[in-house]
Amino acid sequence: MKAIQVGLLGIGTVGSGTYKVLTRNQEEIRRRAGRAIEITMVADLDVERARSIVGDGIKVVADGREVIANPDIDIVVELIGGYGVAKALVLEAIAAGKHVVTANKALLAVHGNEIFAAAREKGVMVAFEAAVAGGIPIIKALREGLTANRIEWIAGIINGTTNFILSEMRDKGLDFDVVLKEAQRLGYAEADPTFDIEGIDAAHKATVMSAIAFGIPMQFDKAHVEGIVGLQAADIRHAESLGYRIKLLGITRRRADANGIELRVHPTLVPAKRLIANVEGAMNAVVVQADAVGTTLYYGKGAGAEPTASAVVADLVDITRLHTADPDHRVPHLAFRADSLSDTPILPIAQTVTAFYLRLRVADEAGVLSRITTTLAEHDISIDAVLQRPSSDQKAGEQDLIILTHNTVEGKMRTAIAKMQALSTVLAPIVSLRKEDLA
Ligand SMILES: NC(=O)c1ccc[n+]([C@@H]2O[C@H](COP(=O)([O-])OP(=O)(O)OC[C@H]3O[C@@H](n4cnc5c(N)ncnc54)[C@H](O)[C@@H]3O)[C@@H](O)[C@H]2O)c1
Ligand SMILES: N[C@@H](CCO)C(=O)O
Ligand code: NA
């Protein structure tokens, strides 16, 4: 049977990994897919570098439109990134009747609804396993493996760059900037690394998982996003001494009590004994809580050339197996059929329910603690633990008060923090971090 012909748009980190994996494992892949899958055309602005990767046997051009216009190309793989040219090329490829594979979570989280609608109209597939947690087959798990379940929540370390930064800072005492540069050198970071450190990349991925888990449209604009930029070493240490690790988590949770869905990314205290708390370096891990199966955990490399290529090539095999099937018999893009998506809203962050870690710099005098605990009680916030520590900059007459709370509605916590902040005995901005038990 004739080989399936693939056109690559962009041959940087993931593109070159895809070329290598497909070439090295050609024979196994042919036996699995039922026919050979070959990259026969590549578009990259840097034509010389592209040619140095694929040699002379494959046609290399600068303009992705030439790939799309080639009638022999069956599948277009978009590995350029971003929302600009990548969006235009993906929509043009779909319009030309090509199946599309992409690793571009930014594009899907922001423009996925439009892209999937165009693909349905044309009867083509858009596959995106590489877009979430790189090589971990989490899209496959959520859309197919867990299809019997009502998913309750998902919590994941889904950005390798920030997990790498947090791990190296903690273990080796290295500075933020040094570790970020290393993550860039290793090919983990986004073209614009603020997407990593400000939590945006994790929010793109959480948005995709939320849509698939709950059968809702992509709603990145409703996600609450905080990164690791403001995180202080003192809080990492205090969390450790209380038995917690701080991880940047992407979380999405069904809230039947509030008829809504939580969708948020923020640094989170997680009990140190949880498996996910021990995921280090650039590794990713996703915990899924579902009603029938219970808790499942997915762990592996979420970034890097070949781990991400593993997911891209898996999508190529899937499309090769399914492209002759009636579009109605394929797995729907968002796991639920397009006419059965739900309009359950994403809840505003004020309605989110979590426990909190608070650190207050206070005057070391009588009555301070009671004023603070009274304020919390007045807002229905119950305290789990309190620690008093010498202030981290060792000033006489000051101390740090560390408080862990039980679960509370975020809006109430915000009001209580504002009240405590106004007390004359609270001497610095209050640090607040969310805490999740993940049990
Ligand atoms: N690097 C990873 O570990 C990783 C993991 C998962 C997903 N992703 C996603 O994969 C995509 C690619 O990431 P990457 O790390 O390989 O990026 P990269 O910057 O290494 O590669 C992008 C390539 O696209 C080329 N390019 C740019 N504009 C182009 C245009 N207009 N036409 C043709 N080629 C063009 C560049 O020359 C470059 O070779 C992004 O969406 C990224 O978010 C990356
Ligand atoms: N920049 C991303 C790449 C994988 O999507 C990360 O660090 O996880
Ligand atoms: Na994946």
Whether residues 383 and 328 share a domain: the answer is: no
Q: Considering only CA atoms, which of 337, 333, 301, 297 is closest in space to residue 315?
A: 333
Tell me, yes or no, if the pTM score tops 0.90. yes
Best residue among 16, 80, 101, 194 to mutate for probing ligand 1's pocket (most ligand atoms within 8 Å of CB) is 80
The reply to whether 87 belongs to the active site is no
Cα(11) to centroid of ligand 1, in Å?
Answer: 7
Ligand 1 neighbourhood includes 308 CB (under 6 angstroms) = yes
The pair of structure tokens assigned to 274 is 């949880």
Pairing of strands 75-78, 99-102: parallel
Residue 421 included in any domain: yes
E strand residue ranges, 142-190: 151-157
Strand (E) or helix (H) holding 114: helix 105-122
Q: For residue 280, what pLDDT is reported? A: 95
Backbone φ/ψ region at 304: left (φ over 0), alpha (ψ -120 to 50), beta:
left
What is the total count of domains within the chain? Answer: 3
CATH number of domain containing 359: 3.30.70.260
Q: For residue 162, what pLDDT is reported? A: 96
Residue 336 included in any domain: yes
Q: Which atom of ligand 2 is nearest to the CA of 159?
A: 8
Nearest ligand, measured from the Cα of 135: 3
One digit per residue, the tens of pLDDT, for the chain of length 439 reads: 899 999 999 999 999 999 999 999 999 999 999 999 999 999 999 999 999 999 999 999 999 999 999 999 999 999 999 999 999 999 999 999 999 999 999 999 999 999 999 999 999 999 999 999 999 999 999 999 999 999 999 999 999 999 999 999 888 878 888 889 999 999 899 999 999 999 999 999 999 999 999 999 999 999 999 999 989 888 998 999 999 999 999 999 999 999 999 999 999 999 999 999 999 999 999 999 999 999 999 999 999 999 999 999 999 999 999 999 999 999 999 999 999 999 999 999 999 999 999 999 999 999 999 999 999 999 999 999 999 988 777 788 899 999 999 999 999 999 999 999 999 999 999 999 999 999 9
- DSSP state for residue 124 in the 8-state scheme: -
Q: Considering only CA atoms, which of 57, 254, 275, 70 is closest in space to residue 156?
A: 275
Q: Which atom of ligand 1 is nearest to the CA of 305?
A: 3
Whether residues 277 and 377 share a domain: the answer is: no
Asked whether the beta carbons of 282 and 306 are under 8 A apart, the reply is no
Q: For residue 361, what pLDDT is reported? A: 96
Whether residues 358 and 416 share a domain: the answer is: yes
Nearest ligand, measured from the Cα of 82: 1
Residue 125 included in any domain: yes
Q: For residue 176, what pLDDT is reported? A: 84
Q: Which atom of ligand 2 is nearest to the CA of 105?
A: 5
Residue 345 included in any domain: no
Residue 209 included in any domain: yes
The verdict on whether residue 112 carries a ligand-binding annotation is no
The pair of structure tokens assigned to 384 is 């789990």
- Residue with CA at minimum distance from ligand 1 atom 34: 44
ipTM over 0.90: yes
Whether residues 81 and 156 share a domain: the answer is: no
Q: For residue 1, what pLDDT is reported? A: 85
The pair of structure tokens assigned to 332 is 């729907």
Residue 96 included in any domain: yes
Whether residues 8 and 69 share a domain: the answer is: yes
Residue 294 included in any domain: yes
Q: Which atom of ligand 1 is nearest to the CA of 160?
A: 3
Cα(37) to centroid of ligand 2, in Å?
Answer: 26
Residue 388: helix, strand or coil by DSSP? strand
Whether residues 38 and 71 share a domain: the answer is: yes
Whether residues 323 and 379 share a domain: the answer is: no
Whether residues 25 and 93 share a domain: the answer is: yes
Ligand 2 neighbourhood includes 188 CB (under 6 angstroms) = yes
The pair of structure tokens assigned to 288 is 């899924």
Identify residue 366 by its one-letter amino acid code: A
Whether residues 159 and 295 share a domain: the answer is: yes
Residue 431 included in any domain: yes
| Cβ neighbours of residue 62 closer than 8 Å, sequence gap 6 or more | 43, 44, 45, 47
Best residue among 44, 100, 283 to mutate for probing ligand 1's pocket (most ligand atoms within 8 Å of CB) is 44
Ligand 2 neighbourhood includes 129 CB (under 6 angstroms) = no
| Structural domain ending residue among the three candidates 340, 364, 387 | 340
Nearest ligand, measured from the Cα of 284: 2
Identify residue 49 by its one-letter amino acid code: R
Catalytic residue among 205, 247, 301, 435: 205
Domain that holds residue 78: 4-136+306-340
Whether residues 287 and 402 share a domain: the answer is: no
Q: What value does the CA radius of gyration of the chain take, rounded to a whole number of Å? A: 24
Q: CA-CA distance, 436 to 439, in Å (whole number)? A: 9
CATH number of domain containing 249: 3.30.360.10
Best residue among 196, 228, 247, 249 to mutate for probing ligand 2's pocket (most ligand atoms within 8 Å of CB) is 196
Q: CA-CA distance, 191 to 198, in Å (whole number)? A: 14
Whether residues 186 and 234 share a domain: the answer is: yes
Q: CA-CA distance, 154 to 286, in Å (whole number)? A: 7
CATH number of domain containing 113: 3.40.50.720
Whether residues 386 and 419 share a domain: the answer is: yes
